[in-house]
Amino acid sequence: MRDEEIHQAVRILTEVVKGWVTPAVTIVATRDRDPFKVLVSCILSLRTRDQTTAEASARLFARADTPEKMTRLSVAQIEQLIYPVGFYRVKAEQILEISRQLCELYAGKVPDEIETLLRFKGVGRKTANLVLTLGFGKPGICVDIHVHRICNRWGYVSTKNPEQTETALRQKLPAEYWIIINDLLVTFGQNQCTPVSPRCSTCPVYRFCDRVAVTTSR
């Protein structure tokens, strides 16, 4: 994919993804614009299907939708509310500890700086960037495995891991697409540009794709 083709690809995908299910964390962010809910939902979403994330988030936030309210729950109560998300026991401890730190160190407010967010146990660059972009509307590029895989498959970048992809995209992706690229490519990656045997025969952006490392397709 040539640099100038990214504009056409984004325009096409923006329309196409409207027919697919929106990622759970994005739904939470769009509905509430609450950085704390985005942060917690993102933690819940790791290694978990979107439907499970959405249901667990709804149950948890019905009981505790602020850091202060979350600290009133026990780990066991949080576990029960978020089950069956992946690694629910570990995540329950992380959510409770983050809530305590937010109350004790940040007056119950989620920080809006990526380096500060990365200090919390269980928060990596993907989660920190999602909080910045979806929770605060600040510039950032969230790169998960879908964004990493698809941008390399397109030939738009040539990188070995998501962190390298984030760096590369910060250098060449037009700023107007920084916030939306994750939503577009997560949805596109789940429904069309799948990890194994992508649906190339019906791909709306096939003509822009270099199909790097694609050995089988449908």
Catalytic residue among 34, 50, 91, 144: 144
CA torsion sign for 203, 207, 212, 214 is positive
CA–CA dist 64, 188 (Å, integer): 32
**Does 156 fall in a domain?**
yes
Q: Are residues 131 and 49 in the same domain?
A: yes
**Does 147 fall in a domain?**
yes
Q: Are residues 96 and 182 in the same domain?
A: no
Q: Are residues 120 and 178 in the same domain?
A: no
Residue 3 annotated in active site = no
Catalytic residue among 126, 138, 183, 210: 126
The residue range of the domain holding 53 is 33-136
Q: Are residues 74 and 156 in the same domain?
A: no
Residue 138 annotated in active site = no
* pLDDT string in tens for the chain (218-residue length): 999 999 999 999 999 999 998 888 888 777 878 999 999 999 999 889 889 999 999 999 999 999 999 999 999 999 999 999 999 999 999 999 999 999 999 999 999 999 999 999 999 999 999 999 999 999 999 999 999 999 999 999 999 999 999 999 999 999 999 999 999 999 999 999 999 999 999 999 999 999 999 999 99
Q: Which residues have C-beta within 8 Å of that of residue 181, sequence separation ≥ 6? A: 10, 141, 142, 147, 169, 173
Q: Are residues 56 and 127 in the same domain?
A: yes
| Total count of domains within the chain | 2
CATH at 77: 1.10.340.30
**Does 38 fall in a domain?**
yes
**Does 218 fall in a domain?**
no
Q: Are residues 80 and 170 in the same domain?
A: no
Q: Are residues 66 and 129 in the same domain?
A: yes
